[in-house]
């Protein structure tokens, strides 16, 4: 069975499969948003992993940030929505209690290399494969000009900034479940 999720970057924290971070959930949180940023941090991107129940991380991206956006091209002085995409490859998952970890990176150059925030899904029970699909990253970013010269960019998620709900999200994550369970039933006869 194929499942598609479109989780929001929330401010709900937790530790799952030994990884601590903010949770990627179906419903966004409200209240005051979390933010991360810095001087000239105009480039933003992600690295993606699947993480086994024992905490073993397997990177799906190729060691550098993908879905990179240059916020200087679209961000405003108020929280502004921008998007970027990444073609996720089909990836076999050997632990059916795994999670997906999405790490946000930022920096003054591309690809960005400064870790901004770790986001984690709940355990995706029964997962056997992360399917090939085009993920869309919804970024809410704003900038502040300091001393009329320096520009500081801030990524915000999970709440409001100056009255704007920052619904940053990762959409169109697709994965399969069930195949490994069915194979085990056929091999052992348990549950039949």
Q: Output the furthest CA–CA distance in the chain (Å, rounded).
A: 71
| pLDDT score, position 99 | 98
Strand locations in the chain (E): 2-5, 8-16, 19-25, 34-39, 43-51, 57-59, 66-70, 80-88, 91-92, 99-107, 114-120, 127-130, 133-146, 150-157, 159-161, 164-166, 169-171, 173-177
Length of the chain in terms of residues written: 192
Provide mean pLDDT across the span 103-128.
98
pLDDT at 80 over 50: yes
What is the predicted pLDDT for the residue at 191? 40
So what's the pLDDT on residue 20? 98
Burial class from Cβ neighbours inside 10 Å (0-12, 13-18, 19+) for residue 23 reads buried
Using pLDDT thresholds of 50, 70 and 90, give the confidence band for residue 57: very high
| Cα–Cα distance for residue pair 184/50, rounded to 1 Å | 22
Mean pLDDT, to the nearest integer, of 69-93?
A: 97
pLDDT above 50 (res 192): no
State yes or no: pLDDT of 185 exceeds 80.
no
Enter the pTM of the model. 0.91
pLDDT at 181: 46
Please report which confidence band the pLDDT of residue 178 belongs to, taking 50, 70 and 90 as the band edges: confident
Task: Give the model's pLDDT for residue 179.
Answer: 54
Percent of the chain with pLDDT over 70: 93
Q: What is the predicted pLDDT for the residue at 94?
A: 95
Which of these, 167, 164, 168, 161, lies nearest to 32 by C-alpha position?
161
pLDDT for residue 189 is more than 50? no
Quick one: pLDDT at residue 148?
87
**Mean pLDDT, to the nearest integer, of 35-47?**
97
Q: Residue 180: which pLDDT band, with cuts at 50, 70 and 90?
A: very low
């Amino acid at each position: 069975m194929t499942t598609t999720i479109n989780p929001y970057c929330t401010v709900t924290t937790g530790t799952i499969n030994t990884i601590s971070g903010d949770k990627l959930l179906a419903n966004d949180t409200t209240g005051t948003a979390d933010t991360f940023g810095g001087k000239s941090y105009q480039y933003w991107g992600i690295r993606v992993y699947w993480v086994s129940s024992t905490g073993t991380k397997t990177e799906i991206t190729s060691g550098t940030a993908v879905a990179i956006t240059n916020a200087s091209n679209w961000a405003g002085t108020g929280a502004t929505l921008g998007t970027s995409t990444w073609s996720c490859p089909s990836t076999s998952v050997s632990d059916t209690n795994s999670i997906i970890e999405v790490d946000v990176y930022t920096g003054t150059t591309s690809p960005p290399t400064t870790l901004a925030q770790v986001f984690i899904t709940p355990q995706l029970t029964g997962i056997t494969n992360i399917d090939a699909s085009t993920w869309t990253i919804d970024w809410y970013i704003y900038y502040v000009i300091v001393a009329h010269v320096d520009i500081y960019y801030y990524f915000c998620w999970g709440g409001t900034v100056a009255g704007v709900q920052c619904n940053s999200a990762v959409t169109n994550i697709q994965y399969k479940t069930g195949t490994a369970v069915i194979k085990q039933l056929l091999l052992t006869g348990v549950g039949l």
